[in-house]
Amino acid sequence: MIRKNKIWCKFVLLTIFIVIFSFSLFNFILDPYGIFRINFKYQVVEPNQHFIKVRYIVHNPKKFDSFVFGSSRVNAIDVTKLKNGKWYNMTYSEGLPAEHLRHLKFFKEKGVTIKNVLIGLDDFSYKVDPKTHFDQMLRQPYPPVIGESALSYYIRYLIRFPDKKVLKSTLKAYKDRKKGIKTYFDFYDFYNTGRGDTSFIDRKIEANPDAYRKDPKFNKPTVFRGDRVKETLEEIRGIVNFCYENNIKLTIFINPHHHITYINSNLIQFFYFKKELAKITDYYDFSGLNSITTDNFYFYETSHYRTIVGDMMLKVMFGYPNIEVPADFGFKVTKDNVDFHIERQKKEVLNYL
Characterize the bridge pairing of strands 116-121 and 331-333: unpaired
pLDDT at 162 over 80: no
Q: What is the pLDDT of residues 300-310, one digit of tens each?
A: 999 999 999 99
Characterize the bridge pairing of strands 283-285 and 331-333: antiparallel
The band of 41, judged by pLDDT with boundaries at 50, 70 and 90, is confident
Burial class from Cβ neighbours inside 10 Å (0-12, 13-18, 19+) for residue 127 reads buried
Q: What is the pLDDT of residues 261-283, one digit of tens each?
A: 999 999 999 999 999 999 999 99
- pLDDT at residue 166, as a whole number: 76
The percentage of residues in the chain with a pLDDT greater than 70, rounded to a whole number, is: 94
Q: Nearest to residue 340, comparing CAs of 286, 280, 274, 294?
A: 274
pLDDT at 121 over 80: yes
Q: Which residues are CB-contacts of 99 (< 8 A; sequence separation ≥ 6)?
A: 50, 130, 133, 141
Decide: 325 and 312 in contact? Cβ < 8 Å: yes
Percent helix, percent strand, percent coil in the chain, to nearest 5: 50, 10, 40
The band of 323, judged by pLDDT with boundaries at 50, 70 and 90, is very high
Asked whether the bond before 143 is cis by omega within 30 degrees of 0, the reply is: no
- pLDDT at residue 351, as a whole number: 86
- pLDDT at residue 32, as a whole number: 84
SS3 196: strand
- pLDDT at residue 169, as a whole number: 77
Q: Which residues of 247-283 are buried (b: 16+ CB within 10 A; e: fewer)?
A: ebebbbbbbbbbbbbbebbbbeebbebbebbbebbbb
Q: Which residues are CB-contacts of 316 (< 8 A; sequence separation ≥ 6)?
A: 284, 286, 325, 329, 330
Question: How far is it, in rounded angstroms, from Cα 286 to Cα 309?
Answer: 10
Cα–Cα distances in angstroms (integers) from residue 180 to residues 174, 199, 259, in the given order: 10, 15, 32
Question: How far is it, in rounded angstroms, from Cα 10 to Cα 330?
Answer: 68
Q: Tell me how crowded residue 198 is: count the other CB atoms within 10 A of its CB.
A: 20
pLDDT at 164 over 80: no
Dihedral over alpha carbons 133, 42, 53, 130 (to 10 degrees): -10
Burial class from Cβ neighbours inside 10 Å (0-12, 13-18, 19+) for residue 133 reads buried
The band of 259, judged by pLDDT with boundaries at 50, 70 and 90, is very high
Rounded mean pLDDT, 328-338: 97
Question: How far is it, in rounded angstroms, from Cα 291 to Cα 75?
Answer: 21
